Structure 1
Amino acid sequence: MTEFETIRIETDERGIALLTLNRPDKHNALNARMIGELTKAAEILGADERVRAVVLAGKGASFCAGGDLDWMRAQREKDRAGKMEEARTLATMLAELNALPKPLIARVHGNAYGGGVGLMAVCDIVISVDTARFALTETRLGLIPATIGPFVVRRMGEGYARQVFFTAKPFDAAFALRCGLVSTVTEAEKLDACVEAEVEAVLKTRRGAVAAAKTLCLELGGDDPAGLAERTASLLADRWESAEAAEGIEAFLARR
């Protein structure tokens, strides 16, 4: 089994894999290593015939706090080509999880921001506690949620995306349920039972039919978000190079 630093994979006797974001001290914020390891995890789990479904969870207080501060600092120092390459890497990870030929169920026990919302958007079923809060705060920094954008907009629709992309206002689990980002909202003590109910439903199906049905959904859902990676990388690089972003990111990194 591949050794990971930022994630964990545990598979039970039923073939249910628990994929855990394992940076609790950083609120499971995404960095280059985690992005690479999640991409590898998608490859491993997709190819493992024993795996019937994957539950994506987070360790610690948060589900995923978005981009790691040190990762963002490193991004800021790269040239345009480097910024675009990093965006492509993130887009590839999201695309691999989105196309995983197994049901991907998110167990959202805490808050999710930025890239964490992107991870939710590529899951087939999202179970969230009623106390969780979400936000896409990129515009506060002078940036845009470009890389995750195709996945999030496809999930919640343009109308709802307009409500959260522009203002960067946090939204609650009720809104997330209404816009389709979340499938089920529950109390914390019932979270695992709700996840287990989805797992049990999957175990009553035929794995080949499930994989084919997921492929069908991806094909009928419109343009493949992965195909927009080059365009979104360019748009994000444009924002990185703006005076607004230079000021906003500096303030954010200095915690002003």
Structure 2
Amino acid sequence: MNQTDKVLFDIDNRGVATVTLNQPEIHNAFDDKLIVQLTDIFSRINQNDDIRVMVLAAAGKSFSAGADLNWMQRMATYSYEQNLADANALAKMFFILNTMNKPTIAKVQGAAFGGAVGLVACCDMAIGSKLSKFCLSEVKLGLVPATISPYVIDAIGARIARRYFTTAEVFSATRARRLGLLSEAVVEEELDITIENLIEHILKNSPAAISAAKQLIFDVHNRPISDDLIAKTSEKIAELRVSDQGQEGLKAFLQKRRANWVTE
């Protein structure tokens, strides 16, 4: 894609995909058209076995200011049915990003407001500049952070969400790190190297096991430790031990060599 596109999509020779919001002049605010583009890109990444990890980034000073002003003006004239279709499209994008079968890393600088907090929460890891700021600003507009709420609450917890959903306070990267929204908060000059370090760790690991590990979290989180859950987790490890990558990983470890998915 060229530099005039609203979102850029690149895959390097290691299988690292980078999706870049590319409207710095409007602080990477998004609208219904961009949501369709992102949904398509996230879906293609999810279906591409050659991609090992995805980085979600943004050009310019801000990660994203949330909803675009022109889109918000159109929303104000929509019927209930039009608003429902609009919200469903947004919810679909967040769900696809959240459930992607490979690791996702958000690279956050500047403002991440409104729906942008949902993008950060949906990624498995989020590295932010210490100067980045966050705000769940919807109640200022008479709205609520509805479609992003499952992911944000999962990231920061219900008690914390009660505060920031209702106060619409701006909070710092340091606080976002303490709350669990960010994995790490670093000086801006260290954003790239910190993310690269995560990528290097990921690329040493079995792609199939990574996908299974992500699914395992969804399957186990908030479920009681029942006989059924114990049985399913036992079945999962047995299944992986006899899988192609499970066998390769065990043999590589015992033979003190690199597994065949490690390219360097």
Q: What is the CA deviation profile of residues 67-95 of structure 1, one whole-angstrom value per residue up to 9, with x for unaligned ones? A: 00011111111101111111110000000
SS, match of residue 118 in structure 1: helix
Q: 1:15 Cα deviation (Å)?
A: 0.5
Q: 1:58 Cα deviation (Å)?
A: 0.3
User: Structure 2 CA distance, aligned partners of 1:93 and 1:161?
Assistant: 21
Q: What is the CA deviation profile of residues 3-34 of structure 1, one whole-angstrom value per residue up to 9, with x for unaligned ones? A: 99421111111110111011111111110111
Structure 2 partner of 1:20: 20
Structure 1 partner of 2:70: 70
Q: If the length of structure 1 is used for normalisation, what is the TM-score?
A: 0.84
Q: 1:151 Cα deviation (Å)?
A: 1.1
1:1-256 alignment runs, 5 A limit: 5-222=5-222
Q: What is the CA deviation profile of residues 29-58 of structure 1, one whole-angstrom value per residue up to 9, with x for unaligned ones? A: 110111001100111111111100000000
Structure 1 partner of 2:242: none
Aligned-residue CA RMSD (Å)? 1.7
Structure 2 partner of 1:240: none
SS, match of residue 67 in structure 2: coil
Partners of 1:6 and 1:33 within 8 A in 2: no
User: Structure 2 CA distance, aligned partners of 1:47 and 1:5?
Assistant: 23
Partners of 1:98 and 1:122 within 8 A in 2: yes
User: Structure 1 CA distance, aligned partners of 2:152 and 2:215?
Assistant: 18
User: Structure 2 CA distance, aligned partners of 1:166 and 1:179?
Assistant: 16
Give aligned pairs, total: 223
Q: 1:150 Cα deviation (Å)?
A: 1.2
User: Structure 2 CA distance, aligned partners of 1:158 and 1:107?
Assistant: 24
Q: If the length of structure 2 is used for normalisation, what is the TM-score?
A: 0.81
Q: What is the CA deviation profile of residues 189-215 of structure 1, one whole-angstrom value per residue up to 9, with x for unaligned ones? A: 111110001000100100000011111
Q: What amino acid maps onto 1:104 in structure 2?
A: T
Identity among equivalent pairs (%): 39
Partners of 1:66 and 1:113 within 8 A in 2: yes
Partners of 1:19 and 1:57 within 8 A in 2: yes
User: Structure 2 CA distance, aligned partners of 1:62 and 1:220?
Assistant: 35
Q: What amino acid maps onto 1:210 in structure 2?
A: I
SS, match of residue 14 in structure 1: coil
User: Structure 2 CA distance, aligned partners of 1:203 and 1:4?
Assistant: 31
SS, match of residue 86 in structure 2: helix
User: Structure 2 CA distance, aligned partners of 1:33 and 1:26?
Assistant: 15
Partners of 1:4 and 1:37 within 8 A in 2: no
Q: What amino acid maps onto 2:163 in structure 1?
A: Q
Q: What is the CA deviation profile of residues 132-167 of structure 1, one whole-angstrom value per residue up to 9, with x for unaligned ones? A: 010011111111111111111111110111121100
Q: What amino acid maps onto 1:180 in structure 2?
A: G
RCO comparison, higher one (Cα < 8 Å, 6+): 1
Q: What is the CA deviation profile of residues 83-142 of structure 1, one whole-angstrom value per residue up to 9, with x for unaligned ones? A: 111111000000000111110001112210001100000000000000001001111111
Q: What amino acid maps onto 1:220 in structure 2?
A: V
Structure 1 partner of 2:243: none
SS, match of residue 166 in structure 1: helix
